[in-house]
Amino acid sequence: MTSSITIAHLSDLHLSALHKRSHIRRTRRALDHLNALGVDHVVITGDITADGTPEDYRVARSVLASAGLLASPRLTVAIGNHDVFGGVHTAEDVLSFPGRCARTDDKAKLKEFGAAFQETFQGTLMPAEKRIFPFAKIIGGVALIAVNTVAPYSRVKNPLGSNGSVDDRSFEMLRDILADPVIRTRRKIIALHHHFHKMRETREGTVHSVWGAIERQTMKLRGKSRLLKLFAQHQVDLVLHGHIHRSAEYLRDGVRFLNAGGSVLHEADPDLHINLIRCTASGCTTEIHRIPFENLPARISTSLVHSEASLTAGHAAA
């Protein structure tokens, strides 16, 4: 690697044509900011839309296009559970949502996601089998590897669509990608949606509560151990994710993780957060930028931005 590469990491934008239009404003502000910073590449790790409808994708495409990001060299995306199964927005949704999840054709939704962001998949490297995920993308000396962690619907294992898993075929393909000589010689960054937090760390004081129990059963990634082992074995530099709406950096089994779930929808903080990753031949450094949001004019002054010196573990759901 001859020069450094700067990557901005966001997640869980939950862009919608029908609900919470503030998410659009907040995302535009974040993207304006990172364009002002002049980052080389942007990674969004899923839940880009609230419900994965054609209208939601039109909104998402418009927001990304206006920031000049609808191009493979500029943007890498991973899919999240909301892009496949959608979410709950009204009291009526609470009752109908499990049925909606059961009726969802996850393979069709994956294709819709691929079509919605097709420009960003151009020129990606992937094993012979024609699938959208996993894939690798070379950005200078960095290999970005995107993985689909959205588990199919299961009445027992995934009744609300929010649990994650990586199927055996995808795992084998991921293993092949990481072993490829083109990838092996570069800094390796994985992009996926589901988190690797230990769930007892995700809600202080509610570990034994009913909500804590529900959260642990409906927000988890199955098969974390074999993924952790694979990442460690191939000396993956960083794993980027979202799903839990917090911003945090943490270690699991020697593997470094960055959560951007709080980039625009931080559960406990109205400010915006962008994870910045700078990679050189010797390694990658990370930083979480906080952007005060409330009542600011349309354009952000970079002087308002400061980095968080200490990165804390995440504590919120989605």
Q: Which is nearer to Fe ion, 120 or 263 (CB)?
A: 263
From candidates 16, 45, 49, 81, binder to Fe ion by CB under 5 A: 81
- Applying CB under 5 A, the span of 7-15, 65-73, 204-212, 224-232 interacting with Fe ion comes to 7-15
DSSP secondary structure of 258-318: EEETTTTT-TT-SSEEEEEEEEETTEEEEEEEEE--TT--SSPPGGG-EE-SS--------
For the bound state, the minimum distance from the C-beta of residue 247 to Fe ion, rounded and expressed in Å, comes to 13
DSSP secondary structure of 144-163: EEE---BPPPBTTTBTTS--
- Applying CB under 5 A, the span of 68-76, 172-180, 292-300, 310-318 interacting with Fe ion comes to 310-318
From candidates 47, 83, 112, 237, binder to Fe ion by CB under 5 A: 47
Q: At what angle do helices 22-37 and 54-66 cross, to 10 degrees?
A: 30
d(CA 234, CA 178): 7
- Applying CB under 5 A, the span of 73-81, 123-131, 180-188, 298-306 interacting with Fe ion comes to 73-81
For the bound state, the minimum distance from the C-beta of residue 293 to Fe ion, rounded and expressed in Å, comes to 18
d(CA 75, CA 133): 15
Which conformational region is residue 140 in: left (phi greater than 0), alpha (psi within -120 to 50 degrees), or beta?
A: left
Does the protein bind Fe ion through residue 262 (CB under 5 A)?
A: no
For the bound state, the minimum distance from the C-beta of residue 282 to Fe ion, rounded and expressed in Å, comes to 33
Tell me the three state secondary structure of residue 231: helix
Q: Which is nearer to Fe ion, 33 or 243 (CB)?
A: 243
Return the number of other C-beta atoms located less than 10 Å from residue 114's C-beta.
16
For the bound state, the minimum distance from the C-beta of residue 27 to Fe ion, rounded and expressed in Å, comes to 13
Does the protein bind Fe ion through residue 86 (CB under 5 A)?
A: no
Does the protein bind Fe ion through residue 148 (CB under 5 A)?
A: no
- Class of residue 178 by CB neighbours under 10 A (exposed 0-12, middle 13-18, buried 19+): buried
Number of residues that bind Fe ion (CB under 5 A): 6
Q: For residues 225-244, which are near Fe ion according to CB under 5 A?
A: 243
Does the protein bind Fe ion through residue 83 (CB under 5 A)?
A: no
By the criterion CB under 5 A, which residues form the site for Fe ion?
A: 12, 47, 80-81, 243, 318
